[in-house]
Amino acid sequence: MRILITGGAGFVGSHLGDRFLSEGHRVVAMDNLITGNINNISHHAGNTNFEFIHHDVSNYIYVPGEIDAVLHFASPASPIDYLKYPIQTLKVGAMGTHNALGLALAKKAKFVLASTSEIYGDPLVHPQVETYAGNVDPIGPRGVYDEAKRYAEALVMAYHRTHGLDTRIVRIFNTYGPRMRLDDGRVVPNFIGQALRGEPLTVYGDGKQTRCFQYVTDLVEGIYRLLNTDFHEPVNIGTTQELTMVEFADAVNEVSGNTAGIIYKEDLRIKGDPQTRRPDNTRAKQVLGWEPVVPLSDGLKFTIEYFRKVL
């Protein structure tokens, strides 16, 4: 297949490109590089099966030749990014998704939308199942990302129902691994950066808020399987190992060998930040035969090794 990945120089997009290339497919990575990094794909220089197009998908997308699948992964994804680029985030979720869907329709290609667990907002149902409609504040600071993804899901289903487009929706839960940016504001690079500098890890509030952290290769495997099914409803992809921020900080310190411990600071989380987050993976197990396989200790080891080189 020849596959277009929007956001192809980003954290997840670049790992997807690696996977499809390793399976013998051709990859076209498209990115405007406002949060992506050309270094994430530089190892493909000279590979005749790989192309890079510097382009903002919020504008009309033109790609010559056949395209068999469009994977729409272009969007700021961390709070620090979508608060810095709120309008761009809304545009890529709305106009970017529309343009990517239009290209897929013109090329008669499969389509995969990268959605997010953030569409559940600060959930009142736990764990979160795909049929739960969420608890989202549309005008809060996080709304620019949450509502962009919710709109994108609605648009994808409209194209599927109206035009018969062969679509997929993956709802991505917290994912970590190499190629995350140290300055992207998320807890994994924050904790690892502090640990590698020998500093105490900063936990905000009481540290009882929870997340589930999956290693990026597990996510990529789930997306790869989803593309190869005929399932069109949203599918959660994430681990169910739920950790408090204190437990996660302890795990990072243990794997990194950091002895500086933890410090607690005033809760500075953004309004609407979920207190709990854990996917119900029943649909992924039934439809994809998928479960995460990388233990947290191994994933943290791989990620810490990457950040040692970055630092």
Report the half-sphere exposure of 48 (CA within 13 A, side-chain side).
0
β-partners of residue 236 are 171
Return d(Cα 163, Cα 184) in angstroms, integer.
37
The Cα–Cα gap between 70 and 26 comes to 12
Q: SS3 sequence, 7-71?
A: CCCCHHHHHHHHHHHHCCCEEEEEECCCCCCHHHCHHHCCCCCEEEEECCCCCCCCCCCCCCEEE
Is 145 designated active site? yes
Q: Name the pairing type of β-strands 2-6 and 110-116.
A: unpaired
User: Pick the catalytic residue: 82, 85, 145, 176?
Assistant: 145
Using CA atoms in the order 116, 117, 119, 125, what is the torsion angle rounded to 10 degrees?
Answer: 160
CA distance linking residue 92 with residue 113, whole number of Å: 12
Neighbours of 193 (CB within 10 A): 16
Active site residues: 145
